Structure 1
Amino acid sequence: MKQVRIVGAGWAGLAAAVAAVQHGMQVHLYETAHISGGRARKLPQTFAGHPLDNGQHVLIGAYRDTLALMRTVGLEPEALLKRMPLNLQFANGQGLALPDGPAPWNVLAGIARARGWTWHDKTHLLYACWQWHRNGFICPSDWTVTQLCTHSKLSPSVCEQLIEPLCLSALNTPLHEASALVFLRVLHDALLGGPGSADLLIPTCDLGALFPETCLRWLQRQGAHIHLGHRITAEDMMLPEFQPQPGQALVLACTAREAARLTATQHPHWSQQAAALTHTAITTVYLHCTDKAFAGLTQPMVALHSSAQQPAQFVFDRGVLTQQAGLLACVVSASQGERHDIAERVQQQVAQQLGWLHLSIVQTVVEKQATLACLPDLVRPETCIAPHLFACGDYVRGPYPSTLEGAVRSGQQVIAQLRHL
């Protein structure tokens, strides 16, 4: 029986562990923290009797492997995720909202009905979509999303109200830095990936209950050995059981920084590649609204007009989603600045744009290394570090930005490679 040791119990490590068990491998899973989930996990803090999360994550219907993995461990995504057609509308109703229906007709209808855009805006966007489709959603690899918008002659309104929030939510990288090629790939999978691919899937439970906790229990029932609160050190890497060899593999499913630390001595070239990657932050500001007239947002997720002084792009109604009445989760992608300043600006932003005045800051969560900065022509480390030594995660070489789907696929692909060794 092949034995695999997996370092890291985020979504990539959990996906790898499940795939390894399914193929008859003996699994040892190590996690530094006392809870699993990585950057998509619940927090010890609670509100209204339910946990807060380290960030307000959103999946999309194109996350085929993630949804299939949830079903494998006995979960029903339909019961844990609120599905709604792509909606990027602001509180005043402006912006894009796709009707429920098959692609590309839903896209055409959504653009035609979009409020706040002139017919000039809409026709240029439709023409751009046609061009992208005709070119196979391919563009020069060194283009940024800003260059793509300029080349496609998209109007400032479309860029501000559609392209920017899409780019920040998918790539967590500003338009003038983000890879246009990766952005188009995400658009292709969402818009042309089949029925429901562009739908938003918003968790209606805490992130621990969404997948990691059930996955750990499933793994334990299958005989996997789970080691939470166990940090693997560089010294551990020298022990015989962590030395990759025939019949025994090691998979680093931890962060790029941690993987670089663990491989620095024995595999300096790969370590330097991983350590050189640039990451961007995501800040989630939880606000409690106590206005007497507050009965929730008009929909579970509402877009916000963002700027340097008003940094949040989206606000979520946790009362509707997770039974935490009056709680709003405001997301600042590619965030910069001090925690306190960001929270105060978001508080003022929500009050100004949504009209709610009695807002208190409950918690501010800053994930400084939340995602890979998805830059043009970015060189990402290979999955294979050395014989029988692999890395998986949303930062290794692959077609997707730092998403849960990218992490899950990476973990599964590593085990697929191990099967043939």
Structure 2
Amino acid sequence: MRLAVIGAGWAGLACAVEATRLGHAVTLFEAAPMAGGRARRVDHMHGMALDNGQHILIGAYTATLALMRDVGVDVETALQRLPLSLRFADGGGLQLPAGKPPPLDLLIGIFTARGWTWRDKTSLLSTAVRWRLAGFRCAPGTSVATLCAGLTPRVMQELIEPLCVSALNTPVPQSSGQVFLRVLHDALFSGRGGADLLLPRVDLGALLPDAALAWLARHGATTRIGHRVRAIAPEDDKWRVDDDLFDQAVLACAPWDAARLVRATGLPAASRWCNVTEALRFEAIATVYVRGAAPLAEPMLALRSQPGSAPAQFVFDRGQLGGPAGVLAFVVSANETPRETLERQVLAQAGIQLGQPGLTPIQTVVEKRATFACTPGLARPPAAIAPGLQACGDYTEGPYPATLEGAILNGLAVGRSLATP
């Protein structure tokens, strides 16, 4: 089968690799000058390679890790594995022990959490037991705030809010409790090491896209990087993509681009798919890179975030993660603050919370539509759009929020669903 995959983000790469592995003749289109989508390497600034955002993987990302290995990435070298840690610069917060099976690791982490009172610890323990007895399920319309109503303010501030914003990129009051519980279950109860943090020690291009493109080239796929698809259209029982005819097509581009292409076909059957896709709301993620820093106590630290004054939730020491010494990456999720104000607030936050005033900004990368807003009861579009036309991406129907694992799982599922050639 001749297959067009439109978009070379992580979902499109996963789909293209899987379809090629199954024997299809794949042509991969990408409008940008490089692959990776919303998890990519950006231009070198000041002689250093930066990313469009600081991504975190966890040990439970089995599909992502398997795909990386399949295309030739040395996962153990590319990623630094650490126990789940939400520790702050002052030493407070929760950290799971290394090598312990669940739920023992969580119990140890709760009872050794620094700065927490017994009330804090017992509120989390009793709430976690209740979630587990309920099978990590709740009503679709439940928010994370409602789900966690019994927790103390400290547990909410130092555990739930950082976990929620890092996994769902949506503020706690507007986040889906159902999706949050799925993330917690898979991370904390799926098996030994599932909650481990896997921090990239290479740029995002080297983490998957570069190797995936090389794998596709070795296996006969065609890649058209820098080619923006103008239009798609059904033609008999095939699909025309610009000037080429394919047996099937997969839209692995951004949801707004996918909806634009589908709308232009005029297919009445696809109208509902476009309506659902166009109704999605999006949240921004900003990464503020600075230099001149002293090494942090850990490669990653949590930060106490306060709207309007201390916007960043996490900071990463790039010098401890294969990058240049003295460079920190501050991650600001679900925040629409203008760039200059954001930089000023982050520098002040670094001085107060890290004891490092006088840092110098290198570059601030803002993804204005980094993820869909993962709200309670959210309707997400299905993969199937019309006969011979599918979509894949972290925004299509699935149990996960907008994560790398969600994108990979959707891409692999679509690749496997294609008819046998």
Residues 1:277 and 1:78: Cα distance change in structure 2 (over 3 Å): same
Look up the match of 1:139.
138
- How far apart are 1:238 and its partner, in Å? 6.3
Q: State the alpha-carbon separation in 2 of the partners of residues 69 and 201 from structure 1.
A: 15
* CA apart distance, 1:147: 0.4
Q: For residue 27 of structure 2, what is the aligned residue in structure 1?
A: 28
Amino acid at match of 1:183: F
Q: SS at the partner of 1:88?
A: strand
Identify the match of residue 279 of structure 2 among 276, 281, 296. Answer: 276
Give the CA deviation at 1:195. 1.2
* Aligned residue pairs, count: 412
Q: 1:420 Cα shift?
A: 5.8
Q: Which residue of 2 aligns with 1:172?
A: 169
Which structure 2 residues correspond to residues 8-87 of structure 1 after superposition, within 5 A? 8-47=7-46, 49-87=47-85
Deviation of 1:102 (Å): 0.9
**2:4/2:246 contact within 8 Å kept:** no
Which ranges of structure 2 fall in alignment gaps of 5 or more residues? none
Mapped contact 1:260–1:275 kept (Cα < 8 A): yes
Counterpart-to-counterpart distance in 2, 1:326 and 1:223: 43
Q: What is the alpha-carbon root mean square deviation over aligned residues?
A: 1.7
Give the structure 1 partner of residue 194 of structure 2.
Answer: 197
Partners of 1:289 and 1:356 within 8 A in 2: no
What is the one-letter code of the residue matched to 1:93?
Answer: G
Is the 1:168–1:174 Cα contact (8 Å) retained in structure 2? yes
Partner Cα separation in structure 2 for residue 311 and residue 94 of structure 1:
19
Q: More deviation in 264-273 or 159-168?
A: 264-273
Aligned residue for 2:391?
391
Question: Who is 2:411 aligned against?
Answer: 411
Separation (CA, whole Å) in 2 of partners of 1:77 and 1:401: 23
Q: Where do residues 303-382 of structure 1 align in structure 2 (5 Å cutoff)?
A: 303-308=302-307, 309-382=309-382
Conserved? CA contact 2:303–2:353, under 8 Å: yes
8 Å contact 1:50–1:206 — kept in the other structure?
no
Instruction: State the identity as a percent.
Output: 51
Q: Distance in 2 between matches of 1:321 and 1:239?
A: 50
Q: Secondary structure at the match of 2:310?
A: coil
SS where residue 176 of structure 1 aligns? helix
Q: Does 1:251 align with 2:257?
A: no
Cα deviation for residue 285 of structure 1 reads 0.3
Q: In the alignment, which residue of structure 1 is the partner of 2:221?
A: 224
TM-fit CA distance, 1:46: 3.0
- Report the secondary structure of 1:357's partner residue: coil
Cα-to-partner distance string for 1:358-386 (whole Å, 9 max, x where unaligned): 20111001001100100000000010000
Deviation at 1:332, TM superposition (A): 0.4
AA aligned opposite 2:212 = C
C-alpha distance in 1 between matches for 2:84 and 2:366: 26
- Report 1:120-159 matches (<5 A): 120-150=119-149, 153-159=150-156
TM-superposed CA distance for 1:247, in Å, is 7.8
1:91 corresponds to = 89
Letter of the 1:30 partner, please give it. F
Q: 1:36 and 1:89 mapped to 2: Cα distance?
A: 34
The CA deviation string for residues 38-66 of structure 1, in whole angstroms up to 9 with x for no partner, is 0110001234x431000000000000000
Specify the SS of the correspondent of 1:52. coil
| Structure 1 residues not aligned, in runs of 5+ | none
Letter in 1 for 2:282: H
* Matched residue SS, 2:321: helix
Give yes or no for contact 1:206–1:322 (8 Å, CA) kept in 2. no
Code of the residue aligned with 1:333 in structure 2: it is: S
SS at match of 1:44: coil
- Letter matched to residue 399 of structure 1: P
Return the letter of the residue paired with 1:118: T
Task: Give, as a single letter, the amino acid of the residue that structure 2 aligns with 1:332.
Answer: V
- Asked if 1 retains the 8 angstrom alpha-carbon contact of 2:347 and 2:358, the reply is no
CA distance in 2, matches of 1:289, 1:173: 31
Give 1:148 shift. 0.7
- After TM superposition, give the deviation of residue 126 of structure 1 in Å: 0.5
Work out whether residues 264 and 272 of structure 1, in 8 Å CA contact, stay in contact via their aligned partners in 2. Answer: no
> SS in structure 2 opposite 1:261?
helix
Q: Which amino acid aligns with 2:330?
A: C
CA gap of 1:238–1:343, structure 2 versus 1, over 3 A, is farther
Worse-matched range after superposition: 349-358 or 260-269: 260-269
Using the size of structure 2 for normalisation, the TM-score is: 0.95
d(CA) in 2 for partners of 1:339, 1:271: 32
**Residues 232-268 of structure 1, C-alpha deviation per residue, up to 9 Å, x if partnerless?**
113x546787349x98110000011000100013333
Paired residue secondary structure (2:330): strand
Secondary structure of 1:343's counterpart equals helix
For the 8 Å contact 2:141–2:377, the answer to whether it is kept is yes
